[in-house]
């Protein structure tokens, strides 16, 4: 069969690597793809938001399955465009992708259906938010309602910081229209865990756990980013936590969306925080996490095509997920200055060290091919992933592998998975 993957980041490279292992797949296309993806797929010069062109390409090339990797096209309704033309596509429709597209919607949903989360208020006028902040407890969390590349969450330690945060999002429009509305919610303490789930509209099948590192600098300092590294599984995601989430989070989330007439098919990413009072939902996303996909998918033993088709056809209950009895750690190599300003076009060396090395992966995120070789083309450049028999070994292997890659202004955190040592 022929498969088209829509996107250009490390997540899409991880998806392509997983798809390539399927005995059912003969040909992979990726639009627009990147330098790494081009080694296993034919990259197509169509952007992810060009829905009609992508659907036309899928028709003309007799694509059997299209996988949407990115949030923007999902929230904008690309799945609806494909389905209207009779094309098989994996991802939630527009009316379900609002779960990530609007923080206000997701918070209201959790409140309505008693899914455990942080207390909150939402605002569409900055002055009303300022008034609320005068009597709030700190620290406090301010979130842009819409999509903001994973960076629209501000943790504010004082009234002054919080007011500046509201100004940044609502008045300065740091993330454009995403900040037209905001959510202000209580700050929760605890370990964060990400759980990606396959969904078919009725049934939900959680994958193995992972933990992301969102802040740019060591010690969880600096600005929020799209993610600086991950590990899987999380030692803090115990059987007790899993049982609680099965009962109060996973299926209730599916049931809530169905009750709202928004049947959810695709990947439901559930960001959890393990508080002293039990797990709480921090956020929902509607696609594979990036870089969570880079540690979860390499450990999955299933044929991903079988699972995705079961989701689309409403028979996910026939599937059982299995994962390798090991661990994986991903360290993101970025451009110094990310997530603010940074230079592109720096020559990358050392990629050949990953060729034919079992249990080592280099997932391209911001790269492009030039006449002189592969160069940097983004803030997050590469995701270096390694497996190990346990998390400590995987972490050591991943950091060893980061030394194989060199380019000017290379930057990374040095404490990805440090929480492992405390488990």
pLDDT at 48: 97
- pLDDT tens for 106-154 read 999 999 999 999 999 999 999 999 999 999 999 999 999 999 877 788 9
For residue 257, count CB atoms less than 10 angstroms from its CB and return exposed for 0-12, middle for 13-18, buried for 19 or more. Answer: buried
pLDDT at 418: 84
The CATH class of the 327-422 domain is alpha beta
pLDDT at 420 over 80: no
φ and ψ of 401, to 5 deg: -70, -25
CA distance to 87, 122, 340, 363, per residue, from 258 (Å): 23, 24, 39, 35
Note whether 119 and 304 are within 8 A (CB). no
Query: For the chain, which residues make up each domain, given as ranges?
Result: 2-98, 119-186, 191-318, 327-422
Question: Does this chain's domain 119-186 share its CATH topology with 191-318?
Answer: no
CATH architecture of 2-98: 3-Layer(aba) Sandwich (3.40)
- pLDDT tens for 169-186 read 999 998 999 999 999 999
On average, the pLDDT of the chain sits at 96
Contacts of 82 (CB under 8 A, 6+ apart): 51, 54, 55, 58, 66, 88, 89
Cα-trace Rg, the chain: 21
CATH architecture of 119-186: 2-Layer Sandwich (3.30)
- pLDDT tens for 212-252 read 999 999 999 998 888 999 999 999 999 999 999 999 999 99
Quickly count: other Cβ atoms within 10 Å of residue 366's Cβ.
Answer: 23
- Is domain 191-318 annotated with CATH 3.60.110.10? no
pLDDT at 421: 66
The secondary structure element, H or E, covering residue 103 is helix 103-112
pLDDT at 422: 60
d(CA 282, CA 117) in angstroms, rounded, equals 6
- pLDDT tens for 385-396 read 999 999 999 999
Instruction: Assign 3-class secondary structure to 121-159.
Output: EEECCHHHHHHHHCCCCCCEEEEECCCCCCCCEEEECCH
- pLDDT tens for 366-415 read 999 999 899 999 999 999 999 999 999 999 999 999 999 999 999 999 99
pLDDT at 135: 93
Instruction: Report percent pLDDT > 90 for the chain.
Output: 95
CA geometry: angle 286, 291, 293, nearest 5 deg: 65
């Amino acid at each position: 069969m022929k498969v088209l993957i829509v996107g250009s980041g490390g997540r899409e490279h991880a998806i392509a690597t997983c798809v390539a292992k399927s005995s059912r797949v003969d040909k992979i296309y990726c639009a627009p793809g990147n330098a790494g993806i081009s080694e296993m797929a034919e990259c197509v010069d169509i952007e992810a938001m060009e829905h009609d062109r992508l659907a036309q390409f899928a028709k003309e090339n007799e694509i059997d399955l299209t996988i949407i990797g990115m949030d923007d096209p999902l929230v904008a309704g690309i799945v609806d465009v494909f389905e209207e033309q009779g094309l098989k596509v994996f991802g939630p429709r527009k009316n379900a992708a609002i779960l990530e597209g609007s923080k206000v919607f997701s918070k209201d949903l959790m409140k309505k259906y008693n899914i455990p989360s942080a207390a909150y208020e939402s605002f569409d006028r900055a002055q009303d938010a300022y008034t609320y902040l005068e009597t709030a407890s700190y620290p406090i969390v301010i979130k842009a309602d819409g999509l903001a590349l994973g960076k629209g969450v501000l943790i504010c330690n004082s009234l002054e910081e919080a007011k500046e945060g509201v100004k940044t999002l609502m008045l300065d429009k740091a993330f454009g229209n995403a900040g037209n509305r905001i959510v202000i919610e209580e700050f929760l303490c605890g370990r964060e865990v990400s759980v990606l789930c396959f969904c078919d509209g009725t049934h939900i099948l959680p994958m193995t756990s992972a933990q992301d590192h969102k802040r740019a600098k060591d010690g969880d300092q600096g600005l929020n980013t799209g993610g600086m590294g991950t590990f899987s599984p999380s030692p803090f995601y115990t059987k007790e936590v899993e049982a609680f989430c099965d009962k109060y989070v996973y299926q209730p989330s599916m049931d809530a969306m169905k009750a709202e007439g928004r049947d959810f098919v695709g990947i439901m990413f559930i960001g959890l925080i393990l508080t002293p009072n039990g797990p709480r939902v921090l956020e929902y996303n509607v696609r594979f996490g990036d870089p969570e996909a880079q540690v979860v998918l390499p450990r999955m033993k299933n044929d991903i095509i079988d699972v995705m088709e079961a989701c689309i056809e409403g028979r996910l209950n026939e599937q059982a997920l299995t994962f390798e009895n090991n661990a994986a750690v991903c360290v993101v190599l970025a451009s110094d200055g990310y997530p603010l300003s940074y230079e592109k076009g720096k020559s990358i060396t050392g990629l050949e060290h990953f060729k034919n090395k079992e249990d080592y992966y280099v997932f391209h995120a911001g790269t492009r091919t030039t006449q002189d070789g592969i160069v940097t083309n983004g803030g997050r450049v590469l995701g270096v992933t390694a497996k190990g028999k346990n998390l400590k070994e995987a972490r050591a292997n991943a950091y060893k592998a980061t030394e194989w890659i060199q380019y000017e202004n290379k930057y990374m955190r040095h404490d990805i998975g440090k929480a492992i040592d405390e488990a």
